[in-house]
Amino acid sequence: MTPSSHQESPALPAQLAERILAELIQLESRPGAFLPSEGELANRFQVSRPVVREAIKQLEGQGLIEVINGRGSRIRPLSERQLRAYFTHAIALQRVPFRELMEARKPIEIQSARLAAQRRTPDQLDALQDIIQRMRRNIGNADVYVDLDHDLHALIADASGNAIIAHLVRSFRGALNDLTHEMLYRRRNRQQLERVHALHEAIVTEIGYRNPDGAGHAMDVHFSEALAFLIQRQEGGRK
């Protein structure tokens, strides 16, 4: 018999959510797999159905599962949605400086470029070279260039063959895209934009040569110069 609702602790749904998650991990459940029904979970863990529903709601809120009306709850595939929400929250509500997020992003992007140089396929290289050519044609159009820049870094991350890096790169850029547009592109002159593009070209060239040291170095220089420009602009604005 399941306990009555007045006997159940308010903390029970959170505890149950942790137990359900632990069981999914132990069973090596895969994305897309459905959880047992509410009734089965209630019987298995000896709790009431309202507790199960609240636990499911908490897991859904964490982005770990999705509830499909009429079918039940299933494990959600890995997504950058939660990470993007975290970085957006950090910027918008916690007032984390743009510089700090760029500093955190830099080593991830460097490793992304290094791995892409080792693992990229011919088709991925073709896609990178196509974007570089489109970026060249749009250097003077910040609105287009920043979107292509987003696509370029996402493709490099995909070519790294590392799903975690790909999700991190997309999450950072998804949260930072508007700020990247304003801080790093609209405020640069043509000569500075040409330099940015030359570094983008160098990154893709080294990836094409399958040179991880060269690709990583080019990405390092790209981010170091972006951070130096950002700091210079911020310090200049305070004078």
For residue 113, give the nearest of 75, 160, 53 by alpha carbon.
160
Same domain, 101 and 67: no
| CB neighbour list of residue 138: distance below 8 Å, 6 or more residues apart | 144, 145, 148
Same domain, 52 and 89: no
Domain of residue 197, CATH code: 1.20.120.530
Torsion of CA 219, 222, 224, 228, to 10 degrees: -170
Domain of residue 70, CATH code: 1.10.10.10
- pTM of this prediction? 0.76
By residue range, what is the domain housing residue 17?
Answer: 5-75
Question: In total, how many domains does the chain have?
Answer: 2
Same domain, 153 and 49: no
Residue with tokens 């500075």: 192
Q: What tens-digit pLDDT sequence spans the chain (239 residues)?
A: 344 444 667 789 999 999 999 998 888 888 889 999 999 999 999 999 999 999 999 999 888 899 998 889 999 887 677 777 777 777 777 788 878 888 999 999 999 999 999 999 999 999 999 999 999 999 989 889 988 999 999 999 999 999 999 999 998 877 776 666 666 777 788 899 999 999 999 999 999 999 999 999 999 999 999 999 888 876 555 54
Taking phi first (over 0 means left), then psi (-120 to 50 degrees means alpha), and beta for anything else, what does residue 70 get? left
Same domain, 95 and 65: no
